């Protein structure tokens, strides 16, 4: 079912646009708390039961507090580091060379995802580059290269 990735991308866009202090429809909850709640449910299966079981609540609260303490701007650097590790795998099927360029960084701003005689450079913020690497056409990136090479890259299956 393709609904979940689309919904996940939409809520990520909303979190990014509003910031961690934005109110939510849940009384007393801010966006940062909601994001921490969702991350615990999805990524920490041992702590997640504490969301529903009062006797285990301290485990869920501790896990949520850990996520709430991570500053949102540090996310880009974490994504850029992850891209360094995953880019070759994400673009392994590309018929053209692929270079990723960090749109706002000067030093260490490029990752060679795939070598090749013909090259396409994908420029964007780390979050958008991750979306593109996973094949999401909604990614807001700029593609620099010959039109035929860009078309070949866009037609290629991307992801892990």
- Clarify whether residues 53 and 79 are in a common domain: no
Confidence of residue 122 (pLDDT cuts 50, 70, 90): very high
**Which phi and psi angles does 96 have, rounded to 5°?**
-125, 160
- Clarify whether residues 82 and 150 are in a common domain: yes
Residue 110 in 3-state DSSP?
A: strand
Residue 160 lies in a domain: no
**Residues 83, 123 contacting (CB under 8 angstroms):** no
Confidence of residue 4 (pLDDT cuts 50, 70, 90): low
- Clarify whether residues 33 and 82 are in a common domain: no
Interval 20-75: pLDDT, tens: 888 888 788 888 888 877 777 777 777 767 777 777 777 777 777 776 676 666 87
Domain count within the chain: 2
Query: Residue 120 sits in a domain of what CATH number?
Result: 3.30.1050
Q: Which domain holds residue 138?
A: 74-155
- Clarify whether residues 10 and 58 are in a common domain: yes
pLDDT at residue number 1: 41
CA distance 88 to 135: 14
- Clarify whether residues 103 and 130 are in a common domain: yes
Residue 2 has pLDDT above 60, yes or no: no
Confidence of residue 91 (pLDDT cuts 50, 70, 90): very high
- Clarify whether residues 122 and 49 are in a common domain: no
- Clarify whether residues 110 and 37 are in a common domain: no
- Clarify whether residues 112 and 85 are in a common domain: yes
- Clarify whether residues 57 and 129 are in a common domain: no
């Amino acid at each position: 079912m393709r609904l979940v990735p689309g919904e996940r991308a939409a809520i990520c866009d909303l979190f990014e646009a509003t910031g961690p202090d934005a109110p939510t429809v849940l009384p007393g909850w801010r966006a940062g708390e909601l994001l921490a709640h969702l991350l615990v449910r999805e990524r920490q299966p041992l702590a997640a039961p504490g969301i529903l079981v009062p006797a285990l609540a301290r485990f869920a609260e501790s896990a949520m507090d850990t996520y709430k303490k991570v500053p949102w701007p540090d996310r880009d650097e974490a994504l850029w580091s992850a891209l360094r590790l995953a880019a070759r795998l994400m673009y392994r099927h590309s018929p053209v060379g692929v270079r990723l360029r960090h749109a706002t960084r000067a030093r260490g701003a490029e990752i060679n995802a795939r070598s090749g005689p013909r090259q396409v450079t994908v420029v964007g913020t780390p979050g958008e580059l991750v979306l593109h690497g996973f094949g999401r056409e909604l990614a807001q990136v700029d593609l620099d290269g010959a039109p035929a090479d860009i078309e070949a890259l866009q037609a290629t299956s991307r992801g892990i």
